[in-house]
Structure 1
């Protein structure tokens, strides 16, 4: 048996808060074995000043990374039809029609390497490009999901793969449009993909299920998959993201999306309700009481002009939340958490919103809460420096001026709310060092493949 790998932390963020002089040990499988507080640094063991758990990115559409910066031009008719999520979506559809499985892998690997460099060590991939450009299933129905999982292996990031159920263009089971042909799946398609991916499950990989939304998947279809889905697997769904979606749901069902979901299905702690931007107080209370995770993606929600989730009310009700980079206009958990808080401050015209009676430091409350919610949404042993969890951790750059002389209780406040430099120096994921000195270990090769892919796509 090989000896465990070790790291000594002068300061480590444990579930109960910051602790001094912590020796961390992990095994060859990438699981933390034990943590010793108040230890002395053993000879020959690397010493780090600040160590904290890696963040979970609970909502990703990896292929959209290649769209970055390409949709920031207003339409010609802005006085009559302002740009919105719906106009952005048409541009995204056109892009999605061209992409090949190999290009998907190259884009995803670049994204995941960037996520690791900024402090994400796990990602939940909401994966809905399942068919070829002509709309036919591949000979291996899970082919595109396998290519994204291969990108996760190349980069070293942990993954929860969520094959998407996507059958309709809108409420009332409207037929899909031609540009949505690559997304088409029914309950049997999704179950075949989940079964095909089962052998890939392990310490770094989980496989769950994602009904795209109530407008794209019927309740009957969702039930069919849930009935066959192995117990405990995570379930994610887009919901109440835009006002237009809420109005359409009311027109068809007489209920708002979250209300309709809870009336029709057994929604519990394995669910992640992504966005849930436009929810009313009763829905906020219902979400919190059911134990779901609210999957919040502030940079994408801002980029698309969606709106602001009622975070303060959700926290007060005991709700659980995590963060995702969604369309990947940003790959930084710092930016997601910063704008999650800043959006609330702007809306409420007050400061220091994301706190609880037990935690008055905003940075610590945001980071710890997002860790817990993200781990729950991922369905993996994540989110804490604790025995049995994955050895996913970040070493901060203690030489950076933003951390010079900072009291330990202000470290996360400095990381989240001071400047724009990336303070993540080293990243361990599944017991393997994937980032050293701010660079991903395969950064050059991954970037070269990504550049070739962009050149191919932009030549179309």
Structure 2
């Protein structure tokens, strides 16, 4: 039994003082009481820790390497994608494991308790499957065992190079499977998850309308009746144009009319939606998985946060390309995008809740759904996914209530996170992961080899 005590904590009933939290040996919260005397380990402020709802771990090693303008004056997501494919020609399973462990460590140190890994790097160079089909998935799970992060593993189904059914390019062939082989891959990935800690979850991810035959999307959902389903949708203008040309409808419209998504579905980006699409999709119960730092980096566009929230939509946050892993900065970037577009301030605040509080609670709920994880609150029976903030820091000192989250999100950074628990595993202590030195050394070795050949 772990016991900790917080001067203040955000509970389902709002902010409480003198909060005692007991964590059972199974990693779940057993008891939460407020207005108690100090007992156990003492912290200034404890919050539920959200899930990082969308990540491609291997891309972390590319951070900072794709900021030059290409020969094409319209350099965009698509030129970045070509550089990513070139990078993929060399990366090995051992390097993927070292990179994934580093990424997961950074997520924990930023305040995330769970890694939802959208895992599409399956095969060896040239597209030849490994002897163990789920070799690369195993590398993700081995990294998670080392870091102690919660894991939702999403093997990605990737068939084609575009909506016209063209073959995968040389850069994509490490992703590709037909349905039969994907079924085997997903089965093996689920086996890896089942062999891990009890809080791990498996799901699936048809990559996008570009990469999966539209006729197969419904079949995939029917074949996998358990777990979350994630898919990229409406990220780029060329994607919208290609879908209009091939299917005669915009991507969100086609998805609504042909897939009939519900709360099992979690759509990533959604930066190219019209108002009626935003309203209709929000009403299905599906989650919008937003990656504001990556969407800014790639010039994707701006998600309609105001319209989505007004329609009762659910949101989660992910670090996607992992160019920068920062919980506070994802929240800040999301809200600032709304302010810039609409020439407003505190765009997502309400009369009842500050901007930071509203966004933070939204990603707790949406992240729990996207990870398919019993989490999102300091509540008995849920996994003990928690983070502690340093209330002695100048940016948080003497603050109360919502101002703590607002200052973390808009004035501070992730250095304000002192401790993080994932399913009761106390993996970040005094601001650093308990295995930081070992994980950092492995990462250094992996990226040194990759960058030498880049």
Structure 2 partner of 1:23: 20
Using the TM superposition, give the Cα deviation of residue 300 of structure 1 relative to its aligned residue in structure 2, in angstroms: 0.3
* Whole-angstrom CA distance in 2 between matches of 1:273 and 1:128: 16
Equivalent of residue 384 in structure 1, options 377, 388, 409: 377
* Whole-angstrom CA distance in 1 between matches of 2:229 and 2:35: 40
Using the TM superposition, give the Cα deviation of residue 360 of structure 1 relative to its aligned residue in structure 2, in angstroms: 2.7
Given that residues 21 and 39 in structure 1 are in contact (C-alpha distance below 8 angstroms), is that contact kept between their aligned partners in structure 2? yes
Structure 1: state its 5+ residue gaps: none
Alpha carbon RMSD of aligned pairs, Å? 1.2
Equivalent of residue 184 in structure 2, options 187, 192, 208: 192
Using the TM superposition, give the Cα deviation of residue 422 of structure 1 relative to its aligned residue in structure 2, in angstroms: 1.7
* Whole-angstrom CA distance in 1 between matches of 2:417 and 2:75: 36
Structure 2 partner of 1:227: 222
Structure 2 partner of 1:448: 441
Structure 1 partner of 2:208: 213
Structure 2 partner of 1:148: 140
Change in CA separation of 1:421 and 1:153 when aligned onto 2, cut-off 3 Å? closer
* Whole-angstrom CA distance in 2 between matches of 1:98 and 1:384: 42
Equivalent of residue 9 in structure 2, options 9, 12, 22: 12
* Whole-angstrom CA distance in 2 between matches of 1:337 and 1:154: 28
| Matched ranges for 1:83-122 at <5 A | 83-122=75-114
SS of aligned partner of 2:427: strand
Using the TM superposition, give the Cα deviation of residue 395 of structure 1 relative to its aligned residue in structure 2, in angstroms: 0.9
CA displacement 1:33-62 (0-9 Å, x = unmatched): 1211222223xx111110001121100000
Question: Residue 285 in 1 paired to residue 282 in 2?
Answer: no
Equivalent of residue 387 in structure 2, options 387, 390, 394: 394
Structure 2 partner of 1:127: 119
* Whole-angstrom CA distance in 1 between matches of 2:314 and 2:223: 27
Q: TM-score, normalization: structure 1?
A: 0.96
Q: In the comparison of the two structures, how many residue pairs are matched?
A: 450
Q: TM-score, normalization: structure 2?
A: 0.97
* Whole-angstrom CA distance in 2 between matches of 1:287 and 1:203: 32
Question: Residue 47 in 1 paired to residue 42 in 2?
Answer: yes
Using the TM superposition, give the Cα deviation of residue 27 of structure 1 relative to its aligned residue in structure 2, in angstroms: 1.2
SS of aligned partner of 1:322: strand
Structure 2: state its 5+ residue gaps: none
Question: Residue 319 in 1 paired to residue 313 in 2?
Answer: yes
* Whole-angstrom CA distance in 2 between matches of 1:206 and 1:20: 33
SS of aligned partner of 1:427: strand
* Whole-angstrom CA distance in 1 between matches of 2:131 and 2:222: 26
Question: Residue 63 in 1 paired to residue 65 in 2?
Answer: no
SS of aligned partner of 2:116: strand
CA displacement 1:235-292 (0-9 Å, x = unmatched): 0000100000000000011100011111111310011110011001111111111001
* Whole-angstrom CA distance in 2 between matches of 1:134 and 1:283: 39
Using the TM superposition, give the Cα deviation of residue 23 of structure 1 relative to its aligned residue in structure 2, in angstroms: 1.1
Structure 2 partner of 1:308: 302
Using the TM superposition, give the Cα deviation of residue 149 of structure 1 relative to its aligned residue in structure 2, in angstroms: 1.2
CA displacement 1:385-441 (0-9 Å, x = unmatched): 111211111111121101111122311111011144620011111211111111110
Using the TM superposition, give the Cα deviation of residue 96 of structure 1 relative to its aligned residue in structure 2, in angstroms: 1.3
* Whole-angstrom CA distance in 2 between matches of 1:227 and 1:409: 43
* Whole-angstrom CA distance in 1 between matches of 2:155 and 2:44: 40
* Whole-angstrom CA distance in 2 between matches of 1:140 and 1:311: 42
* Whole-angstrom CA distance in 2 between matches of 1:376 and 1:356: 23
Using the TM superposition, give the Cα deviation of residue 230 of structure 1 relative to its aligned residue in structure 2, in angstroms: 3.2
* Whole-angstrom CA distance in 2 between matches of 1:106 and 1:326: 18
